[in-house]
Each structure stands twice: as structure tokens, then as C-alpha cells.
Chains A and B, each alone.
Chain A
Amino acid sequence: MSEPASVPATTGDFDFDSLLAPSATPPEAAVPDANAVPSAASLPAPTAPALSAHIAHEENPTWHDFAASWDLYRDPVICGVVAGAVLGMLGVFVVLRRAVFVTAAVSQSAALGVALAFLLGIYLGVTPPPVLCAFALALAATAVLAWRSPSTRLPREAIVGLLYVGASALAVLVGDRIAQEAEDITAILFGTAVLVRPEDLLAVLGVSALVAVAIAFLYRGLVFAGFDPDGARIQKLPVARIELALWTLVALEVSVTTRAIGALPVFAFSVLPAMAALRASNRLSHAVLLAGLAGALSGGLGYICAFLLRFPVGAAEACVAAILFSLAVSAARFRRAF
């Protein structure tokens, strides 16, 4: 496995823009990006251990290697944990509204927004902030899903499918036109990003804190409006505004986290921890907290598993979330049996 000429040892020494952002330099001349592998021929997909090879020069990375390079991995782990926790909590309300694939369509739209930001950068010379583009597209997707024209006879699931396929295909097409950033697009779509830029981490932390506070404030309204929408309307609760607030929060959190960790883990965090928690608990308030915990565990453990087992990060995080769901189902069955 070849090693790059120079790789800084700590996060503070990294030039994240050259590592993660689109670059005009040819791939062979560029500094290896966070999604790249030490040798493109040896590994087909970007992995966390691939980067660890720079630091730990280990074929089989160990826990000790991870601990030794904590400064480097701290930010992406924190990002995964926080994104997992907040998406998990938000996901409870998404799952209860039977709108699981809305998050998938919104996260793919956010990914398209990031791809379009890169494309504009190439053709216009000025790259708009990718997170803002992601939020704009995510919000647009949410608005399309929320708006029901009386003349539209299609069920919401059909519109969700259309948006998901359309956004995914367009992101790949845009990726094809920005060859330099193709790996960035892959990273955003499938969550293979190994590193997180400080500004992306800050955005995830800030927006996640805002969303968590909003969930706490809106909790009673979100529950009533979902459980008995007619009853809530009759008691003069602003049901439409509560729903709008929920989906705006989803669009906000999904757009910021998609830019940082990718669409696949974002979708996984929005669905699987919530499903696990709703299976494990008979109390909604407990389920929300459990989903946050399961999401945080998925983000943190997923990253560590990716490091130790040389897996792509996003897929590893999604798999850990799926394993936690299986455990919750088994535990619920076990509890019922005895």
C-alpha cells in the first residue's frame, strides 16, 4: 500500500479545503482527499482505515491505533454521534407519521443541492455555500411533499418515490459533469466521508442543538397533532403550522448532516433508531430519548467499526443502526415471551 508523501498528524494541521472541498487540481496532483484511499487500486471504496494507514501504518487497525489518532477522528465521531442523536429523536415523529421515505427523498435532494453548488462553482467561478444549497433543495422537496394539489390524484408515496429517484439520478448526472468532485458526490450520497471539516461540524452542532430545543418546545403539539389531528384542530391547535415546523426541522437537520456525513447514514439515522425505540418502549417520551441514544450509538460505534473492520463509514453506521433495531425487536419478543 503506497503512502502519500506527507500527511499531517493532527486535525489542526489539515488543510480541510484541499482535502474535502472541490478542487481544480487534477486528481493525481491533489492532496489525497478524505474519501480517497492510499492506493486506489487496492481498495475500491473510501474507508476510515484507509486514512488510518497514513497515521498508524497498520494493515489491521486496532483500538489502540484509533485511540492514538483520536485527535484526527474526534470531529467525525462527534459529528456522527450528534447527528445520530438528533436525527434519531426527530425520526420518531417521522416514523409515527408513516413518512419514512420522506427523509430519504429529502436527504437525496440535499445531496443534489451540494452537487449543484459544486457545479455552479465550476461554471460560474463562485461556489455558493453547499449547506445553503442543500437546505434550499431539502426545503423545496419538503414543500412539494407537503403541498397537495386537489387535482393531483397520486398518493404521497408516489411523489416521494419520484423525488427520491429524480434527486438521486440528477445528483449522479451532475457528478458526472464535475469529475474532479465525483468522489465528493459519492461521499455525500453514500456517506463515505471519513473526515468532517470544522465548519461542517460547527453547523451540525449548532443546527442539531436548535432542532433538539425545538423538539422539546413543540413536543406536546407534535404528539397531539399526529395522534388525533382532528381533535387537535377542534381544540384550535395550529396543526398545519406544527406540521410545517416538523418538516422544516427535518429539512434543516437533514441538509446540514447530509453535507457532513452523507445521505445514506442520514436516512438510516432518521428511521432505524426510531423504529428500534418505538419497538422497545411503551412510552413515547422514553422512545424519543431512546431513539436519540440509539442514533448516537449508531454514529459513534459505526465509525469505530468502520475503522477497525476497514468498512466505508456511512454503510457501517447504517448497519450498526440496523443491528440495534434487530436487538430491540428480539428484546421486545423476549420480554413478551416471559
Chain B
Amino acid sequence: MKSSELSRPELFACRGLRIGISGRAILPAIDLSIRAGQFWAVVGRNGAGKTTWLRTLLGLLPPVAGRVLTAGDVRVSYLPQRSGLDDLYPLLAREVVAMGVERGWSFLAGLGAADRKARVERALSEVDAAQLAEQPFRRLSEGQKQRVLFARLIAGDAEVAILDEPTSAMDKVAEREAFELIRKLQVEHGLAVLVVSHYLSIVREFADHAILLDGDAEQVVIGTPAQVFEHPAFRKRYGDFATEAAHV
């Protein structure tokens, strides 16, 4: 980790954190800190424990052992895998963005309508999605939906964005555009980003830090993307793809 990063505020920290389901740990203890403005990639094969780790970080699952520390009232925004959002709801894109503004009990009164509207419009413009505002969210393409969800995290003034396979349903071009947008938000808003992705070349290009989770071998590797991709545990799991990822 660069020394300049150490001076940034710590937003999340895992201290001897063991994750698992129904009290059974699936990975060894994890110790790391996530600081403002860092871009973390979470890699691992299917079933490696990536989503379980994210959900434990977010407080949606209890840790098996150890602790997750969060900095006071840190504002977190979570983009779940596609199945996490209910397509039955007939919502406009701008209504989905407006959800980003909600915190705690704010839905009972909270922000004035004008301020709320202004924040939503500004966020949509920032991700070049102003033209989608009045479109039904469920009818948008996957790429357009992601743009709207990025606008939601901007509207909420999030400090940490946790993205669970945000580009899984996108083609190569849309995927690159999505990551470029994430990078832009990271730089312009000082956002800490934690993204699960199977696209190793993209991870190598955009992330500053990576964590490999391997539930089968009960192994966790933390470092820069280059360090992780050259680790024997990574090579064992990814075979030929490991060589490709390490030399992009």
C-alpha cells in the first residue's frame, strides 16, 4: 500500500474476520483495511465466498468470528447482483435514483421535494443518463440499469460503493464503459470501491488492490492485482487464465 493511502481515513476494517454460513467458516481469517478512494477488486471462482464476504462486511450476515469495523456513520451504497432488485416494481429510473437519497427514517419526511429532485437530476447527468429519467427502470438494458444505479449512489453521496458483479450481463464494450465510469466516480468523489468481477483483465487495469478468495482451498490472498495474479493459489485456481491475466 502506498504511504499516501495510509493517511486516508479508514472506512471499513476486517479484524480476524471469519465468514461462513450457519456458523461454519468457509475461509481463514481476513485482516484488511479499506480506505477512502481505494479501488478493490474481489476475485475468486464461483462459490469461493465472495458474496458471503461482501454481505458480512455490509452487516447482512453475521461473522463466524472476528469483527467488521466501520467508520462512524459511513455512507455505503450497494449494487447487488441482478437478482437482488425486483423487476415487478413499476418504477421510473429517476425514482430508483431517488432511493439513494434515503437514510434511516428519512422516508417519513426528510428532504424537500425540490432538493431531492435537484440531486436526482444532477446524479443522472453525471453518469450521462439524464435521458433515462422518465423511462421505466425494468425496461432498460442491463448497461442502462447499471448507469441508473451508479446515479443512485452519487445521489446518496456515498463514500463506499460495493458492487457485486455489476457487469455480469454486459457485452465487452458496455463492461469497459461501466468500469471507466466507476473509475471516474472513484476519482471525482473520492469514493472507495469494492467490486466483485470475473473479468480479470479489467480488474488488473482498474483496481489498485485485489483480494482472492478460495473457499475450496480455504485460502485468502491480498495484495495488488499483479501480486494476487502471480500468486500460486491464483494460478492453481485459474490455470491458463492466470497467465493471461498476469500479463495484460
Contacts and interface: CB of A to CB of B under 8 A. Distances in A.
Interface of A: 96, 98, 217-221, 223-224, 226-228, 230-238, 278, 281-284, 287
Interface residues of B, number: 29
B107 A230 contact: no
Contacts, number: 86
A284 B95 contact: yes
B6 interface: no
Contacts of A234: 58-60, 76-78
Nearest to B89: A227
B118 interface: no
A218 B103 contact: no
A227 B85 contact: yes
B86 interface: yes
Given A234-B58, A237-B102, A238-B104, 6 more contacts: A219-B107, A226-B89, A230-B60, A230-B84, A234-B59, A278-B88
Interface string B29-61: 000000000000000000000000001001110
Interface of B: 55, 58-60, 75-78, 80, 84-86, 88-92, 95-96, 99-100, 102-105, 107-108, 136, 156
Query: Interface of chain A, helix or strand or loop or mixed?
Result: helix
Of A217, A227, A235, chain B has the most CB atoms within 10 Å of the CB of: A235
B86 A282 contact: no
Query: Interface of chain B, helix or strand or loop or mixed?
Result: loop
B86 A227 contact: yes
Contacts of A237: 102-105, 107
Given A221-B108, A234-B60, A227 B99 contact: yes
B108 to A, nearest CB: 6
Given A234-B76, A237-B102, A283-B92, A228 B86 contact: yes
B99 A283 contact: no
A283 B84 CA distance: 20
B108 A223 contact: no
A55 B104 CA distance: 58
27 contacts: A96-B89, A98-B88, A218-B107, A219-B107, A223-B91, A223-B95, A224-B99, A226-B89, A227-B85, A227-B91, A228-B84, A230-B78, A231-B78, A232-B99, A233-B58, A234-B77, A234-B78, A235-B75, A235-B77, A235-B103, A236-B103, A237-B104, A237-B105, A237-B107, A282-B136, A284-B89, A287-B90
A217 B108 CA distance: 6
B160 to A, nearest CB: 10
6 tightest Cβ-Cβ pairs between the two chains A and B: A221-B107, A220-B107, A227-B89, A236-B104, A234-B78, A282-B136
Contacts of B105: 237-238
B212 to A, nearest CB: 24
Contacts of B100: 235
Given A235-B103, A236-B103, A281 B108 contact: no
Given A233-B60, A284-B95, A226 B102 contact: no
A178 to B, nearest CB: 42
B194 to A, nearest CB: 12
Contacts of A226: 86, 89
A235 B78 CA distance: 9
